[in-house]
Amino acid sequence: MTHPDDEISICVWIRRLVHAGNPVFISWTHSKPIRENEARAVAKILGVPQDHLYFHQATDGSVCDEIPVLLPKFRAMMAEVQPDRVCCGAFEQGHIDHDSTNYLVNKTFDGPVLEIPFYHTYLTRSQRINRFSDPRGEEVIHLDMDEQRLKKEIARQYPSQNIWHVLLLYEAWQKARLKPIVLAKSERMRFQTHREFTKPNHPPYLARKVKRSATWKRWRAAIRRARKSQATAS
């Protein structure tokens, strides 16, 4: 995950894995004491041991600028955990920090990477939540009533953030547009295939808009600096 509260998107999937006897590890790229405490409390609810948690202390909103510092931390974590697969937020131009974590994962892990739709794109104030812009390849798990209650409980576990109110407002907005999405009813994931990190991961009409944005220009500059730093280090 990038921020403590991103795990809301797959909290039921995490609990299903834990209940099936699988070892699960969670890392957060950004963290500070209050948000770390919230993440630890959520991990306890989901059954993930405290010694399976990693916090990388990156700066909220500036992860892309800290990629050279974070790469060795991610390599060390991958070497220690030796995961079978890694799941992270999709490279979907919804939040530049999420895209940075996706980049870090793909540069430090050679196995299968699965990605989750958080939200896209940063071109609009009302972003699309829990849906890929192109749903091809996604798998959807539908949650039973107990799992839906768990998801709502987890969403309330971050008092330092306004995530619960954001999710409620989003559902109300979608209902008003006659496009209801009940976020607690499903979780989505797919194997990541798009790894061209200098190209937006969207259908052409959205990709063109992303390329014209200031945030995308910032992203391209950060990737150039990261690659230059890697080349110098090697």
Distance CA 129, CA 127 (A): 6
For range 103-130, the mean pLDDT: 93
Considering only the top CATH level, what class is 6-233? alpha beta
> Residue 209 carries which side chain, given as an amino acid letter?
K
Radius of gyration of the chain (CA): 17
Q: Residue 179's pLDDT band (boundaries 50, 70, 90)?
A: low
Distance CA 104, CA 30 (A): 13
Q: Kindly report the number of other CB atoms within 10 A of residue 51's CB atom.
A: 7
For range 94-123, the mean pLDDT: 96
Residue 161 has what DSSP assignment?
Answer: S
pLDDT at 231: 86
Tokens, residue 16: 């299903």
Backbone angles phi, psi at 212, to 5 degrees: -85, -5
Please answer whether residues 115 and 148 qualify as being in contact, where contact means their C-beta atoms are separated by less than 8 angstroms. Answer: no
Q: Which of 107, 85, 102 is nearest to 25 (CA)?
A: 85
User: Is 36 exposed, middle or buried (CB count within 10 Å of its CB: 0-12, 13-18, 19+)?
Assistant: middle
Q: Residue 108's pLDDT band (boundaries 50, 70, 90)?
A: very high
pLDDT at 2: 98
pLDDT at 167: 72
Q: Residue 51's pLDDT band (boundaries 50, 70, 90)?
A: very high
Q: Residue 175's pLDDT band (boundaries 50, 70, 90)?
A: low
pLDDT at 187: 96
Q: Model confidence over 180-230: pLDDT tens digits?
A: 566 889 999 999 999 999 999 999 999 999 999 999 999 999 999 999 988
For range 33-46, the mean pLDDT: 97
pLDDT at 126: 77
